[in-house]
Amino acid sequence: ADRIARNGDVANKIGTYSLAVSCHYHRIPFYVAAPLSTFDLSISAGKEIPIEERSGREVTYIWEQLPITVENATAWNPAFDVTPAALIHGIITEKKILKPPFEKVVEKLKFNGLIQKNYEELIV
């Protein structure tokens, strides 16, 4: 995972949400692997996670040279999607596997000093 909100919602590469939905439908447990430093306690839920948007040319052109759509077509091309905590069976970290409800587990880890208060504190 690239970033995890306090409630356990996860931002990861595009396609993660679709995979989680498929696993949920087929009753297959879906796990996320992430270091504890990925938790951003300044974000309460996934809807607050900023999502990077890539150039639409990445999906409307081959090698950004050969068009594969009609002229002047545009495309929305997010680099990440958000997977709701409700679809996640557990989060595998370097310390342990965290189980829902994630918000309670995250508060305990914060209290024990295992995760930082804000994601920005981790950026040097």
| Any domain includes 61 | no
pTM of the entire predicted model:
0.82
Which single residue is written with the structure tokens 């990445």?
A: 58
Q: Is residue 23 part of a domain?
A: yes
Longest Cα–Cα distance in the chain:
56
Name the least confident of 11-20, 31-40, 114-123: 114-123
* 48 within domain boundaries: yes
Overall domain count for the chain: 1
User: What are 94-116's pLDDT values in tens digits?
Assistant: 988 999 999 988 888 776 666 65
- What CATH number is associated with residue 36? 3.40.50.10470
Pick the catalytic residue from 2, 9, 40, 81: 2
Band the pLDDT of 119: cuts 50, 70, 90.
Answer: very low
| 69 within some domain | no
Domain that residue 95 falls in: 3-53+79-122
Q: Report pLDDT digits (tens) over 5-21.
A: 999 999 999 999 999 99
Calpha distance 75→60 (Å, rounded)? 7
Distance of CA 114 to the CA centre of its chain: 20
Q: Is 2 a catalytic residue?
A: yes
The answer to whether residue 21 is domain-embedded is yes
How far CA 110 is from CA of 20, 25, 42, 62, 120, in Å, comes to: 27, 33, 12, 46, 15
Residue 99 in any domain: the answer is yes
Torsion angle defined by CA atoms of residues 105, 25, 94 and 13, in that order, rounded to the nearest 10 degrees: -110
| Confidence at residue 106, expressed as pLDDT on a 0 to 100 scale | 83
